[in-house]
Amino acid sequence: MNKPDNDKMLGNSPEFTALVRSLDIAAATDVTVILLGESGTGKELLARQVHARSARAHAPFVAINCAALPEGLAESEFFGHVKGAFTGAVSDNPGRIRQAEGGTLFLDEVGEMSLDIQAKLLRFLESGEFQPVGSVKQRHANVRLIAATNADLREKVAQGSFREDLYYRLNIVPFQVPPLRERSGDVELLMTEITRELAIQYNLQAPAYTKAAMVCLNQHAWPGNVRELRNLCERMLILFSGREIDEGNLPQEIRHQHRNRWTFSLPEQGIKLEEVEKELLQQALEKTRGNQSKAARILGLTRYAFLYRLKKYQLQ
């Protein structure tokens, strides 16, 4: 249960290896960590990695998908309940926090919690105490918290849907998980390894990708990130087991994106790359009327990468 899936944590890109090194440093402490990044980038796997390399590795790793919790049952799932607390409570439920005693509690999609649950979670983070539904007694739990979200929590705070005090309590050590399109060179490595694992699972011979197919895959934007890549590996294995896969065998949406990819012709006299990047940043801000999140999206950047470049060119 607590062992991380090391095979799926593969990555040689500077962006990914730098993240893993930083997480290893955080793992040695008990500090609250929040993982920020798009859906499908492997945030739960990274959280499991932090747990496995921490002093709490011997204890449970308990994950909660906050977006999947029914509103009426969320409090019971988090904090537990006593028998008879509500209709259907035929026995005591310890709750996820108690189940994680001594270990790590992972809150995925933390930005989707209701304000009521946010208030109770904040109290637990500040005191280590919580009260099961239907109980008059306070309980104490010793857990390490790791949170993850693909939402912009600062925007949610500004909108009033996320508590500002909880935001600062969670945002102690934030880590930006790079999307697959920003992990230079990792697509082919992941394709090879995931295909190998799936071939063993299905007892099939792995297909081989031509150079043209791999060029197309490397240029794909991967909006679904590693989750999308794994889905493709599985489909190609089933359909082309033991065969060669060329560009024409790839799904239409990948080929279509490759054919319509925007190209830029380098002038003979050359360019100053920093001036081009600065101009694109300014144009993106103008098109979005200063909305940094939207500007980052139309440039295909994470908000973190976009803000880094704004600071670099003193555009803030």
Q: What is the pLDDT of residues 185-220, one digit of tens each?
A: 899 999 999 999 999 999 999 999 999 999 999 989
What's the pLDDT at 2? 45
What's the pLDDT at 102? 96
State the CB neighbour count (10 A cutoff) for residue 267.
Answer: 7
Residue 28 has pLDDT above 90, yes or no: yes
Distances in Å between the alpha carbon of 16 and those of 2, 116, 167, 235, 278?
22, 36, 25, 26, 25
Domains, the chain, with CATH or none: 6-178 (3.40.50.300), 181-259 (1.10.8.60), 273-312 (1.10.10)
Structural tokens at position 30: 């008990």
Q: How far apart are CA 272 and CA 190, in angstroms?
A: 33
3-class SS of residue 302: coil
What predicted TM-score, i.e. pTM, was given to this entire model? 0.78
